[in-house]
Amino acid sequence: MDRKQCCVKLSVQPSRGLMDEKFIVLVQNVFPGFQLTLHALYKCEDGHSWEAFAHYTASAIGTVNISEDPSLGGTYSGVEPMGLLWSLRPVPGSKPWLRMRKMNVQTPMEVTISVYPGYQTEGFLDQVPLAGVVVERWYMAPGVRRIPVTEAGLTATLFLPPGPGPFPGLLDLWGGGGKLVEYRSALLASHGFASLALDYLTAKVTIETGKMVDNQYFERAYKVLEQHPQILSSRIAIIGLSLGTSITLKMAVYSQVAKLRCVVCISGSHVQPVDGSVEQIMSFFNKNAEKTRFNNENHMICRDLLLPIPTDPSLKVDVGQLQCPLLLVVGEDDQNWPTHESAMDIKEMMERAGNSHLLTLLSYPDTGHLIEPPFTPFAKASSFRAVSSRQKLVALWGGETAAHSRAQEDAWRKTLVFLRANLYGGVNTGIASFSNL
Amino acid sequence: MSDTVAPMLSVFPSRALVDENFKVVVKNLPPGCPVTLHSLHQCEDKHYWEAYGHYTSNHRGTVSVTDDLSFGGTYTGKEAMGLLWSMRPVPGSREGLRLRRRNVCSPLLVNISVYRGHVVEGFREQAPLASSLTERWYMAPGVQRTQIREKGVRGTLFLPPGPGPFPGMLDMWGGGGGLVEYRSALLGSHGYASLALEYFAPGELKSADLEFNYFETAFNIVKYHPQVMPDRVGIFGLSIGAVLTILLAAESSFVKPSCCVCISGNHLYPRGATIKEVHQVLNMKSPKIRLDENNYEIWRDMGLPIPDDLAHKIDVGRIHCPIMLVNGHDDQSWATVESSDDMAQMMRAAGNLHLLTRLHYPDAGHLIEPPYTPLFRATKFVKDTKEKVILLWGGQTKPHSDAQEDSWKKILAFLEQNLYSSPTLKAKM
């Protein structure tokens, strides 16, 4: 490459987008057939640097369009419009077993996308690229309101879409890592759902009293949604992941207070002491702790703790009694929970009970446990400190980068369609009042 | 509480540059439902601006502003961006307002709402069915804004993201004075290192101690910037800024722009005069100022007739770079079209007509700005006498907005062709 390539034009459209929106990365003004590397760099809130890169060959008119052209190698290959985001991984020399999670949702993720000459695989930061742009990725759409909720002893954050409403409501439950994780709720509010992210493992009340929350804690969270003037009490749903699924199924079937329009259960199981408290559920898991395995990298595999799926009805949520639609999302390579086996058993139970028409099952091959909103880096294993054990280990989540990322994109789109159909769809009984105008 | 969930109103993209399109869609309405789409913006001076269009939902209860027709409001027909360009001050506002963004680092916030029925007024007094907020940015992420105070030159430089080097631009506004940054911010977002130049304070043109030299120095600040390609620097001017652009391109021995864009300018400049002297000439012609039925001042006759005497015109035959002239036929402020005709004649005679591109827009006025911002047909202006008058710029809303949209696209393509294209391609032309 002797002739200096100048005036390379690099653009990303849109330059400011939501985290789940696609973008188009376009390189123009390079020599036809020019070999180049596209590179993405992101410095996360913890100060770690993440990068992704891919090799492309410019067309006969001197352009590269990532949405149409194949990557010939790098951290992803093939035609992957969003590969520069989902294949991000910690730069060489980083601490191992990192997981990227944005905790401050009020600022965007800023990614620098650059183009380098030739097919490169390392040393990006030691060179000057041909061109570079900055892309902002937001969890919150403009006008979404973030409201901390501390009433009724809750530790939660409510995200309201812009406008007068009324909106459907969502209770958003994460898993065994605890903390108040807001990003999924922020994104759901950006899509028109009033969403309450709830901390139920490391809630203020638990930190202060040392006691885990009881079942009424979740019902109080439900009531916050039900009683909110901008939320429709008849259109409330729950979305749960991992341990959050356990709570979700429990409430859907056993709660006298929660009247749910639909539920979304991701990477979870129905196996638990029936209608047990969080504490009881966790000690049930701990009883089987000797079934924990470790692979040859010393990563912890927990999927056997709940296997085999019990036949004893007192140890499974009676999903045959479910009265609302259920979207079940599982990864077939989940190494943390036996989600695929649980899904099969749930399906069988519902078929026997005659309510399987309520079930939509999305099962993804080569996909692991952490099925999250799309276009964020994949972590096959990461440092994990379970709230109960306080031990710091590396948990194996499972999955393979490209397949898992594809599953996240598909599952998220289908989750939004499911939520819209159940929470926004159906007859708008206001028709009578409209047509009188 | 009723079981009626709100309709879903979406604006995509919710965050965009000021010159980018958006799609406004409403879903979950009853079928065949009359609704009004409404936009509201509170500008930095705290005035409210609004626009609205009347629609009817289809059988699926959807309205799409990009695909459907508006049958009434501040715009009609199929107008994807009508909610922005047809904005005007809300009823009861002062006369002569102009929406000009001063802080380009934060976005313009526009509220888009949908109301039941075909509403024409009283939007603030009723609750909409749904509303959404959209951000319109002058600066793309990563664009750097730097104040320039160097060698007596005052301005703001906008650098695109990335290492560069970039083509450069000297950007000059008009007789209103002050420092207007938003066009340079947009140019920076499109890959040009652009210097918005301040060359006199509002109302102080007469006393501005300006020499040619000031502009040459400013041009060189851009040219010699470490991240600018010295052989790819253009000049962009509007109104008086356009006159200065033509002057520099034709007369300067130090400044050799790669290309020029002149919006609503003219070539009527007495040879060898300073800006001060030009001003005195203008003052002498002030009896030619007319007033329209609203008492707005029409200045265009001051430039007519176009003199034959070359001593009163810039020698455009000496321009050596591609030059684009953008004019509105309804320009009430200057006789830009007549001037542009005369310039073309002069260039034909001199043999450099091939460098000239002219964009003419019927029913467009003087202030042809980046697209999707409201038209200012007449706004207040502080004259040198410190007198505050309302100047008629001209232009009809829809044709002027079309002119802004069309000219901006063509200007960006012209700049890309002249400042970004590779040398080999250029040589083949």
A122 and A197 part of one domain: no
Place of tokens 């259920």: A326
A160: closest CA of chain B, how far (Å): 12
Find residues 103-132 of chain A whose CB sits inside 8 Å of chain B.
Answer: 110, 112, 114, 128-129, 131-132
pLDDT at B386: 73
Q: Which two tokens stand for residue A90?
A: 């910690």
> Tens of pLDDT along A190-240?
999 999 999 999 999 999 999 999 999 999 999 999 999 999 999 999 999
Q: Is B105 exposed, middle or buried (0-12, 13-18, 19+ CB in 10 A)?
A: exposed
Determine, yes or no, domain membership for A3: no
Query: From the list A18, A143, A164, which residue is nearest B127 (CB)?
Result: A164
CA distance A214 to B32: 49
- Contact call for residues B166 and B208 (beta carbons, < 8 A): no
Whether the predicted interface score ipTM is above 0.85: yes
| Together in a domain, A353 and A378 | yes
Decide which of B95 and A153 is more confident: A153
Name every residue whose Cβ is closer than 8 Å to that of residue B287 and which is 6 or more positions away in sequence. Answer: none
Active-site annotation holder among B38, B41, B54, B366 = B366
Q: What are phi and psi of B318, to 5 degrees?
A: -95, 0
Tokens of B35: 């609704």
Domain match, A351 and A396 both: yes
Q: How far is B405 from chain A (nearest CA, A)?
A: 19
Do the domain assignments include residue A330? Answer: yes
pLDDT at residue B423, as a whole number: 53
Region of residue B77 (left: phi > 0; alpha: psi -120 to 50; beta: else):
left
pLDDT at position B390: 85
Enter the DSSP assignment of A71.
Answer: B
Q: Which residue has the higher pLDDT, A309 or B422?
A: A309
Cβ-nearest to A128 among B109, B132, B163: B163
Whether the pLDDT of residue A119 is over 90: the answer is yes
Number of residues in chain B: 429
Return mean pLDDT, chain A.
93
Residue B168 to residue B153: CA distance in whole angstroms: 16
Residue that is last in its domain, among A92, A120, A138: A138
**Confidence label for A437 from pLDDT (cuts 50, 70 and 90):** very low
Where are the strands (E) in B322-368, listed by range?
323-328, 356-361
Which of B256, B307, B263 lies closest to B281, judged by CA? Answer: B307
Eight-state DSSP code of residue B418: I
Cα B370 to chain centroid, rounded: 4
Task: Give the chain B residue nearest A161 (alpha carbons).
Answer: B132
Q: Is A167 on the interface with B (CB under 8 A)?
A: yes
CA distance A350 to A359: 8
Check B5 against A167: CB less than 8 A apart: yes
Of A79, A103, A138, which residue is a domain's last?
Answer: A138
For chain B, residues with pLDDT lower than 50 are 1, 424-429
| Integer Cα distance of A32 and B424 in angstroms | 13
The domain B144-420 belongs to what CATH superfamily? Alpha/Beta hydrolase fold, catalytic domain (3.40.50.1820)
Determine the pLDDT at residue B290.
Answer: 87
Query: For residue B183, how many other CB atoms are within 10 A of its CB?
Result: 24
**Residue A382: strand pairing partners:** A395
Residues of chain A with C-beta less than 8 angstroms from the C-beta of B116:
434, 437
Indicate yes or no: CB of A7 within 8 angstroms of CB of B140: no
Euclidean distance between CA atoms A248 and A149, whole angstroms: 20
* Backbone dihedral angles phi then psi of residue B411, each to the nearest 5 degrees: -65, -45
Note whether A34 and A182 are same-domain residues. no
> Do A404 and A362 reside in the same domain of the chain?
yes
What φ, ψ does residue A168 adopt, rounded to 5°? -70, 155
- Calculate what percentage of chain A has a pLDDT beyond 70: 95
Interface-testing mutation among A7, A23, A191, with chain B (most B C-beta atoms within 10 A): A7
What does the pLDDT read at residue B289? Answer: 86
Looking up residue A100, the CATH number of its domain turns out to be: 2.60.40.2240
A369 catalytic, yes or no? yes
Question: CB neighbours (10 Å) of residue B7?
Answer: 26
Co-location of A102 and A184 in the same domain: no
Same-domain status, A72 and A152: no
CB contact under 8 A, A192 and B17: no
Of A78, A107, A138, at which residue does a domain stop?
A: A138
Dist CA B213 CA B226 (whole Å): 22
Whole-angstrom distance, CA of residue A378 vs CA of residue A357: 33
Tens of pLDDT, residue by residue over A352-411, are 999 999 999 999 999 999 999 999 999 999 998 876 667 789 999 999 999 999 999 999
Distance of CA A190 to the CA centre of its chain: 15
Which residues is A280 bridged to in the sheet? none
Q: What angle do CA B274, B276, B281 make, to 5 degrees?
A: 95
Compute the distance between CA of residue B279 and CA of residue B205 in angstroms, rounded to an integer: 8
Q: What is the spatial distance between Cα B361 and Cα B327, in angstroms, rounded to a whole number?
A: 6
* A2 within some domain: no
B78-137 residues touching A, CB cutoff 8 A:
109, 111, 113, 116-117, 127-135, 137
Q: CA-nearest residue of chain A to B160?
A: A133
Q: Which residues contact A402 (CB under 8 A, 6 or more apart)?
A: A76, A80, A87
Strands A167-173 vs B297-298: parallel, antiparallel or unpaired: unpaired
Report the candidate in B324, B336, B331 with the shortest Cα–Cα distance to residue B412: B324
Characterize the bridge pairing of strands B378-382 and B388-392: antiparallel
Residues A131 and A188 in one domain: no
For the full predicted model, state whether its pTM sits above 0.95. Answer: no
User: Is B25 in CB contact (< 8 Å) with chain A?
Assistant: no
CB neighbours of B299 closer than 8 A, spacing ≥ 6?
Answer: B289, B332, B333, B334, B391
Q: Measured between CB atoms, does A29 come within 8 Å of chain B? A: yes
Environment class of residue B2 by beta-carbon count within 10 Å: exposed (0-12), middle (13-18) or buried (19+)? exposed
CATH for B8-136 is: 2.60.40.2240
Q: Is B30 in CB contact (< 8 Å) with chain A?
A: yes
Claim to verify: residue A42 and residue A132 sit in the same structural domain? yes
How far apart CA B423 and CA A187 sit, in angstroms, is 46
Query: Between chains, do B131 and A164 touch, taking CB under 8 Å as contact?
Result: yes
The conformational region for residue B244 under phi > 0 = left, psi -120 to 50 = alpha, else beta, is alpha
For position A363, which CATH number holds? 3.40.50.1820
Q: Give the one of B5, B27, B161 whose C-beta lies nearest to A232's C-beta.
A: B5
Hey, where are the domains in chain B?
8-136, 144-420
A315 and A335 housed in the same domain: yes
Domain check: are A159 and A304 in the same one?
yes
Q: If you ran DSSP here, which 8-state letter would residue B316 be given?
A: G
> Range of A122's domain?
9-138
- Residue B375, pLDDT score: 78
pLDDT of residue B272: 74
Whether residues A391 and A252 fall in one domain: yes
Handedness of CA B174, B176, B179, B183 (dihedral sign): negative
Calpha distance A164→A211 (Å, rounded)? 38
A199 is catalytic: no
Number of domains in chain A: 2
Candidates A223, A297, A213, A289; CA nearest to A247 is: A213
8 Å CB contact between A249 and A404: no
B323 and B358 Cβ atoms separated by less than 8 Å: no
Residue A119 to residue A114: CA distance in whole angstroms: 13
B342 labelled catalytic: no
